Chain A
Amino acid sequence: MSGSRRSSFSLLLALLPFAGVAFAPLYLAPYHLLLTDRFLSLGILAMGIVMVWGHAGVLPLGQGVFFGLGGYAIAMHCKLVALAPGELPDFMLWNGVEALPWWWKPFASSAVALTAAVIVPALLALVLAWLVFRRRTTSVYIALITQALALAFATLLISRQGTTGGFNGLTNFDTVFGAPLAGDRTRLWLHLASVGLAALAYVFARAIGATQAGRLVTAVRDGENRVRFLGYSPAPYKILVFVIAGAFAGIAGALHTLHMGMISPAMVGVVPSIEMVVWVAVGGRTSLYGALIGTVVGNLAKDRISSEWPTMWPYLMGLIYIVVVIALPRGLSGVVEKATTHG
């Protein structure tokens, strides 16, 4: 009894900062608020990476794909609602496309777009995970295959300019669900949605970790064969976390697209996908909270530093990759944990 009370107390404590961020419009300038919201949505994706990488031991290097699917689903909807009946999105006209492709049509409905932003990435994650985990593909192979997937996805988006917006992606949308995207009220709602969904994702991921399935996920990471010898098949548990991470990435992509007012292949390819992983590594690959903070703070720092010293940034970023892996394998949350348990 006291154990469960303690755990619900620690959950409340963990949710406190979310409440603090929810009130951010009162104390943050609009520009910084927008940045925080964007990175908070990336934090949802980061928690998915923690489940797959930190808990299940499989490094996903293609999360940008699922992020992109969620983002493009919403972006297509935003493009379509701005049109009068029978009209085509601007970039299609420029590219000489004459009729709306069939797979664009359902996205005119906001319900379809919102559902698709979660379901499509989750389904793709399911198919991919089923294919690779079923045959005991090693985690190194999975890392490389997901990376190839990110490359293929970005290449495909760029090459289909007439239906995907190509290199520029989907941009120039100004209304969402009937409200102006830049309006104060919309901004507030989007902010609250980001904080709320991040908190929800955190609670969900934490709850999954506490179930038997969640324990088996970590058991698979630490000794896959032992789990097999105990009579479990590891594949379903790996598939489960991979699908959850895919759905998280889709939600993140949808939110991020609404905050940015655009989505483009540059946000979904190989480089952004691996960057998402490195912020998780900085925060701590096994800690949901660490990954969330690592992603938000890391991206804020990146935004500041890369605009002040653009040529220095790649060196610094490269150094971060190396230092985190060699000196801080458990990230900043590992440092904090060490300090609090021994100090």
Chain B
Amino acid sequence: MSTLALGLAQLFDGLSAASILVLAALGLALSFGLMRIINMAHGELIMVGGYLMYVAQQHLPDRSVALGLVLAFTGSAVLGAMLELSLIRWLHGRPLDTLLATWGVSLMLQQAARELFDPTGVEVTAPAWLSGSLAFDSGPLAGLALAHVRLFIIALAIAVLCGMTLLFGRTRAGLHIRAVNQNRAMASALGVHSRRVDLLVFALGSGIAGLAGGALALIAPVTSTVGQSYIVDAFLVVILGGMGTLRGTAMAALLVGMLSALAETFMSISTAKVALLLFVVAFLQFRPRGLIVARSRALDEA
């Protein structure tokens, strides 16, 4: 394999890791930026998406991945909306308390998953059009193989990011979201139903987590702890990105994904985890509020 092909393979790995990270972190970043809540059950929304994909593959006649993703999105979004209406509503302005309460929710969801499904994990067999890979046999890129399923996930992440950019920039709902994000009290005074915006954003973020889970199910078995293995990295992405901006989250996910993929070629996965953490702590020395900072004149910020 040539150096160029090897380098591109690395880039591809990083990009694919970043795509999953961005899908996993986007909902967290949105709800954190808008409502200052930390949803520890976000990982379990990913898990729910994965299981829904599995259920769809089991029961739908044509094993449609698209239908599975729709189901994963809707299911997680509905669950997220229920969570927002029943629990998170009560904890407005208490970020550390939402962290503990939603951790409780995550414990319950994990146990429920262990009882409902095979505790060793369930596997989704990707359909034929996703199971191959784009291989280069000759030329300067000989030896490079890009798995279709990873290409699909990268495309999915890009599609979601584009969709969100359009939603925020071009629609009335997006206008309201940005207004509440900038100044909740003023937006409310001007007639924006800020509680409804909260619900919308939380459900949307949960739905994207579901998509992440659905996509993950295509590459790895779904277990009750799949959410736990992504949540901490997702939070590091949120911290790195800044207070819940779309652009910051995307950039941070790309950075973390690339760095992890790169680090894992030089060191073991566990050392890479430590290195990533050290990087984030060091980064906060220079930019304590993350990559992209939403400017504000407020003195105290959570």
> Which A residues have a C-beta under 8 Å from some C-beta of B?
59, 61, 128, 131-132, 134-141, 143-145, 147-149, 151-152, 155-156, 158-160, 224-225, 270, 274, 277-278, 281, 311, 314-315, 317-322, 324-326, 329
Contacts and interface: CB of A to CB of B under 8 A. Distances in A.
B245 to A, nearest CB: 15
Given A141-B284, A311-B115, A315-B111, A281 B100 contact: yes
B108 interface: yes
Given A140-B38, A325-B97, A147 B232 contact: yes
B270 to A, nearest CB: 4
Contact of B104 (A145, A155, A321): A321
A274 B288 contact: no
20 contacts: A132-B284, A134-B285, A137-B284, A138-B301, A140-B96, A140-B99, A144-B236, A144-B238, A145-B281, A148-B277, A149-B277, A155-B273, A160-B270, A224-B300, A318-B105, A321-B105, A325-B98, A325-B100, A325-B104, A326-B101
A128 to B, nearest CB: 8
B161 interface: no
Given A140-B99, A155-B269, A274-B103, 12 more contacts: A59-B99, A135-B288, A139-B302, A140-B95, A151-B273, A155-B274, A270-B228, A274-B100, A277-B100, A281-B100, A314-B110, A317-B104
B165 interface: no
A140 B302 CA distance: 7
Interface residues of B, number: 44
Interface of B: prevailing SS: helix
Nearest to B287: A135
* Most chain B CB within a 10 A radius of its CB, from A128, A281, A317: A317
A59 B96 contact: yes
Nearest to B111: A314
B239 A325 contact: no
A139 B96 contact: yes
Nearest to B268: A159
Interface string B133-161: 00000000000000000000000000000
Give the most central of B36, B90, B100, B269: most A CB within 10 Å: B100
A233 B38 CA distance: 28
Contacts of B271: 156, 159
A-B interface, 5 closest residue pairs, ranked by CB to CB distance from nearest: A321-B104, A159-B270, A314-B111, A318-B108, A318-B104
A239 to B, nearest CB: 15
Contacts of A132: 281, 284
B280 interface: yes
Interface in B24-81: 32, 36, 38
B91 interface: yes
B290 to A, nearest CB: 9
A157 to B, nearest CB: 9
A136 B32 CA distance: 18
B302 A321 contact: no
Contacts of B106: 318
B215 to A, nearest CB: 23
Q: Determine the main DSSP class of A at the interface with B.
A: helix
Contacts of B269: 155, 159
Given A148-B280, A314-B110, A155 B299 contact: no
Contact of A322 (B101, B270, B273, B280): B101
A224 B38 CA distance: 22
Contacts of B32: 140
Nearest to B299: A225
A277 B104 CA distance: 12
Contact of B285 (A135, A151, A325): A135
B239 A144 contact: yes
A128 B97 CA distance: 23
B235 interface: yes
B300 A225 contact: yes
A128 B281 CA distance: 9
Nearest to A329: B97
B95 to A, nearest CB: 5
A278 B106 CA distance: 14
Contacts of B104: 317-322, 325
A70 to B, nearest CB: 20
A143 B99 CA distance: 9
Interface string B82-101: 00000100110001111111
A137 to B, nearest CB: 5
B6 interface: no
A96 B111 CA distance: 38
A301 B101 CA distance: 20
A64 to B, nearest CB: 14
B107 interface: yes
Given A143-B99, A315-B111, A325 B281 contact: no
Contacts of A315: 107-108, 111
Contact of A148 (B96, B235, B270): B235
Contacts of B36: 140
B301 A325 contact: no
A281 B97 CA distance: 10
B288 A136 contact: yes
A145 B277 CA distance: 8
